[in-house]
């Protein structure tokens, strides 16, 4: 039998209708791992829709998530039944907590043999997926697959955007659908942006917000990803530049203002005071007397106590969904509205306002600059801020203006990324703010590179997170994605060691330390060229080499952390 795809068969099966409908909704790639349902679906049934085979279903889920985020279109991932589906579930959880429009698909036992927990590999997948999806259903009749896809896409694209799940009994997936039975209307055009709820009186609340802005001395805007999804980035830039209002973002909304914008006060993380050894949150939020949250989402891990600083401040919440967390955030003015429409209306309503005088954060900027310039050569390995500084400078030299992506896996280094990474465009910095499953970095970088093929993509990952999902190095090599990966290696789950110290004033190695892994050899064994870099000069030249290579490149950097447990008071443990 030929290994090369043969001409697609002409038979109209549920499988073909599934792929046709996904393609009609803008899906060009399905990421996943196929099992015995391969007898029913080849994934070459529809022209223009391809399959990308990953080594782990979590990778497939995250690739779909990040591609959906960047393209603004729904994307799809696929797993076999049972263990494939459970492996995929962490990817689905990521799309839920990180808000991505992903249609997750999994095969299921034959429709006449669904005895969950008894039939071979059969689990009750719809029940497993339901609590972490916006729509979960099992195909009952082959011709109805088109309707199920439409329902899944609509649910996924409704704010808060998120994943949907369709379970596909193998016999029904491969079943022929008689001509005529499959006749359904053409796919509705994709909405230009996610569908949102709107308060009937949102325009009156624009007036109230304009009055609060007029009265405030030091207003700040706190921006989350729903502002990007709404297409409000340009409008918010225009508003803040006219009124001179600083912008502070969640991890994921970094880049709504370009890196060096004077009103860009940065992204915040609860770890920043501890990393900088400096009262950063107080500097950012202390003087603010009005906090306007635009597209703010609690799941992005910027917590209201960070801005209140224990003081009762005026707050306005503008979001495309009703407030899900009144216990932690009860704004003075709560507006459920389209973020773009609200921002434009607020711009018009504040036309007569004098520009504000933003509060001064020079000491914080100086502290950050001092950190990044750290020239010391540490005997026990580089420091992550030095790694970030090198990555930033090679990114600045490589990317065209307003382009480039820095992706971060999950670990202590991620908070250095939130603080220090260059981000010159929306989603110019990518991390999993909501789910934060380690191992996210490699698949996220692969999807970012697929979405932005002409732009540089750098990935920073820790040894713990990276090696939890490193089998997909082979996928990166197979797809020849020219990502420059930096693995910061301390042979430890470093963030967890920090928590041990916070909670117990000591650490316990068996719970956090690994024996050494040679990431250079690991990369090479998977077809990825790699080097080790021990200091700034070596790292810069390795990054430059990687950025110009045109194929994947990995750099292992031995690192150490200087924990300053006293500075981590803002963390809840
Ligand atoms: N399991 C999953 C799937 N995700 C998470 N986030 C955890 C466990 C808990 N987090 S962040 C982390 C853990 C174990 C350790 C990261 O270690 P690293 O070597 O990747 O990074 P670093 O720099 O902190 O040592
Ligand atoms: Mg580590």
pLDDT class for 186, splitting at 50, 70, 90? confident
| More confident position, 310 or 161 | 161
- Determine the pLDDT at residue 2: 43
Q: Which numbered atom of ligand 1 lies nearest the CA of 466? A: 20
Which residues are the active-site residues? 57, 438, 463, 490, 492, 561
Whether 492 is in the pocket of ligand 1, judged by its Cβ within 6 Å, is: yes
Counting every residue, how long is the chain?
Answer: 573
Whether 51 is in the pocket of ligand 1, judged by its Cβ within 6 Å, is: no
Mean pLDDT of 365-389: 97
pLDDT class for 183, splitting at 50, 70, 90? confident
Give the residue from 123, 124, 89 showing the smallest Cα distance to 104.
Answer: 89
Mean pLDDT of 198-221: 96
Mean pLDDT of 465-469: 98
Mean pLDDT of 450-472: 98
Mean pLDDT of 372-381: 96
Q: Round to whole Å and give the CA distance between 451 and 465.
A: 23
Extract the runs of DSSP E, i.e. beta strands, from 327-442. 333-336, 405-408, 429-430
Mean model confidence pLDDT for the chain: 95
With contact defined as beta carbons under 8 Å apart, do 213 and 175 qualify? no
- The SS3 call for residue 511 is helix
Burial 220-240 (b: 16+ CB within 10 A, else e): bbbbbbbbbbbbbbebbbebb
Within a 13 Å sphere around the CA of 421, how many CA atoms are in the beta-carbon half?
31
Whether 91 is in the pocket of ligand 1, judged by its Cβ within 6 Å, is: no
pLDDT class for 6, splitting at 50, 70, 90? very low
Extract the runs of DSSP E, i.e. beta strands, from 240-391. 247-249, 264-267, 290-294, 314-319, 333-336
- Determine the pLDDT at residue 187: 85
Mean pLDDT of 548-569: 87
Burial 185-212 (b: 16+ CB within 10 A, else e): eebeeeeebbebeeeeebeebbeebbeb
pLDDT at 498 over 80: yes
Q: Which two tokens stand for residue 267?
A: 């992204």
Which of 58, 97, 495 best tests ligand 1's pocket when mutated (most atoms within 8 Å of CB)? 495
pLDDT class for 565, splitting at 50, 70, 90? low
- Determine the pLDDT at residue 185: 82
Mean pLDDT of 455-470: 98
- Determine the pLDDT at residue 446: 99
Assign 3-state DSSP to the chain and report helix, strand, coil percentages, each to 5: 40, 15, 45
Give the residue from 79, 83, 81, 77 showing the smallest Cα distance to 63.
Answer: 77
pLDDT class for 8, splitting at 50, 70, 90? very low
HEC string of 52-106 equals EECCCHHHHHHHHHHHHHHHCCCEEEEECCCHHHHHHHHHHHHHHHHCCCEEEEE
Mean pLDDT of 215-239: 98
Tens-digit pLDDT profile for residues 141-171: 999 999 999 999 999 999 999 999 999 999 9
- The SS3 call for residue 322 is coil
Domains of the chain, with CATH numbers?
14-173 (3.40.50.970), 202-357 (3.40.50.1220), 374-568 (3.40.50.970)
Axis crossing angle, helix 14-24 with helix 145-156, rounded to the nearest 10: 30
pLDDT at 182 over 70: no
- Determine the pLDDT at residue 571: 60
- Determine the pLDDT at residue 310: 86
Q: Answer left, alpha or beta for residue 301, where phi above 0 means left and psi between -120 and 50 means alpha.
A: left
- Determine the pLDDT at residue 179: 78
- Determine the pLDDT at residue 181: 72
- Determine the pLDDT at residue 5: 44
In this structure, the residue with its CA closest to atom 3 of ligand 1 is 437
Tens-digit pLDDT profile for residues 90-142: 999 999 999 999 999 999 999 999 999 999 999 999 999 999 999 999 999 99
Tens-digit pLDDT profile for residues 270-293: 999 999 999 999 999 999 999 999
pLDDT class for 567, splitting at 50, 70, 90? low
Whether 411 is in the pocket of ligand 1, judged by its Cβ within 6 Å, is: yes
pLDDT at 540 over 60: yes
Q: Which numbered atom of ligand 1 lies nearest the CA of 410? A: 11
Tens-digit pLDDT profile for residues 20-79: 999 999 999 999 999 999 999 999 999 999 999 999 999 999 999 999 999 999 999 999
Q: Which numbered atom of ligand 1 lies nearest the CA of 463? A: 19
Tens-digit pLDDT profile for residues 399-452: 999 999 999 999 999 999 999 999 999 999 999 999 999 999 999 999 999 999
Which of 465, 485, 562 best tests ligand 1's pocket when mutated (most atoms within 8 Å of CB)? 465
> Which ligand is located closest to the Cα atom of residue 412?
1
- Determine the pLDDT at residue 522: 98
Whether 27 is in the pocket of ligand 1, judged by its Cβ within 6 Å, is: no
């Amino acid at each position: 039998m030929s290994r090369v795809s043969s001409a697609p068969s002409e038979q109209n099966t549920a499988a073909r209708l599934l792929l046709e409908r996904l393609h009609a909704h803008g899906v060009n790639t399905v990421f996943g791992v196929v099992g015995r349902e391969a007898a029913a679906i080849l994934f070459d049934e529809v022209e223009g829709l391809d399959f990308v085979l990953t080594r782990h279903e979590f990778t497939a889920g995250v690739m779909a998530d990040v591609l959906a985020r960047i393209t603004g279109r729904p994307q799809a991932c696929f797993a076999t039944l049972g263990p494939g589906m459970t492996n995929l579930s962490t990817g689905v959880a990521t799309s839920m907590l990180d808000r991505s429009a992903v249609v997750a698909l999994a095969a299921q036992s034959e429709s006449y043999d669904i005895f969950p927990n008894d039939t071979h590999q059969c689990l009750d997948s719809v029940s497993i997926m339901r609590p972490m999806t916006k729509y979960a259903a099992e195909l009952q009749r082959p011709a109805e697959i088109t309707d199920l896809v439409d329902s899944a896409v609509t649910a996924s694209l409704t704010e808060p955007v998120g994943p949907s799940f369709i379970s596909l009994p193998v016999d029904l997936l491969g079943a022929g659908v008689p001509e005529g039975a499959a006749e359904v209307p053409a796919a509705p055009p994709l909405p230009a942006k996610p569908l949102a709820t709107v308060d009937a009186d949102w325009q009156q609340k624009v007036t109230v917000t304009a009055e609060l802005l007029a009265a405030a001395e030091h207003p700040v805007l706190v921006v989350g990803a729903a502002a990007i999804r709404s297409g409000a980035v340009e409008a918010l830039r225009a508003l803040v530049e006219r009124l001179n209002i600083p912008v502070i973002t969640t991890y994921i909304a970094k880049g709504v203002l370009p890196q060096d914008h004077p009103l860009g006060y940065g992204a915040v993380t609860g770890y920043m005071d501890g990393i900088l050894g400096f009262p950063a949150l107080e500097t950012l939020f202390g003087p603010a007397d009005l906090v306007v949250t635009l597209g703010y989402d609690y799941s992005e891990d910027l917590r209201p106590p960070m801005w209140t600083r224990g003081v009762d401040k005026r707050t306005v919440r503008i979001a495309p969904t009703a407030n899900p967390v009144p216990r932690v955030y009860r704004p003075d003015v709560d507006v459920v509205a389209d973020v773009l429409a609200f921002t434009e209306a607020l711009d018009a309503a504040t036309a007569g306002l004098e520009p504000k005088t933003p509060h001064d954060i020079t000491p914080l900027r100086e502290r950050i600059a001092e950190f990044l310039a750290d020239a010391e050569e540490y005997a026990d390995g580089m420091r992550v801020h030095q790694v970030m500084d090198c990555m930033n400078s090679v990114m600045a030299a490589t990317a065209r203006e307003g382009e480039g992506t820095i992706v971060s896996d999950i670990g202590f280094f991620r908070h250095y990324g939130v603080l220090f990474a260059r981000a010159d465009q929306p989603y110019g910095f990518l991390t999993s703010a909501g789910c934060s499953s380690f191992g996210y970095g490699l698949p996220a970088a692969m999807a970012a590179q697929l979405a932005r093929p002409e732009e540089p993509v750098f990935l920073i990952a820790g040894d713990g997170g990276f090696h939890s999902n490193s089998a997909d190095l082979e996928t990166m090599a197979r797809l020849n994605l020219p990502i420059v990966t930096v693995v910061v290696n301390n042979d430890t789950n470093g963030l967890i060691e920090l928590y041990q110290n916070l909670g117990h004033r000591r650490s316990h190695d068996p719970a956090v330390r690994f024996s050494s892994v040679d990431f250079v050899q690991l990369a090479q064994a998977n077809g990825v060229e790699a080097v080790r870099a021990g200091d700034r000069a070596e790292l810069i030249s390795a990054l430059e080499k990687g950025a110009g290579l045109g194929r994947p490149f990995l750099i292992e950097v031995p690192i150490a952390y200087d924990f300053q447990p006293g500075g981590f008071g803002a963390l809840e443990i």
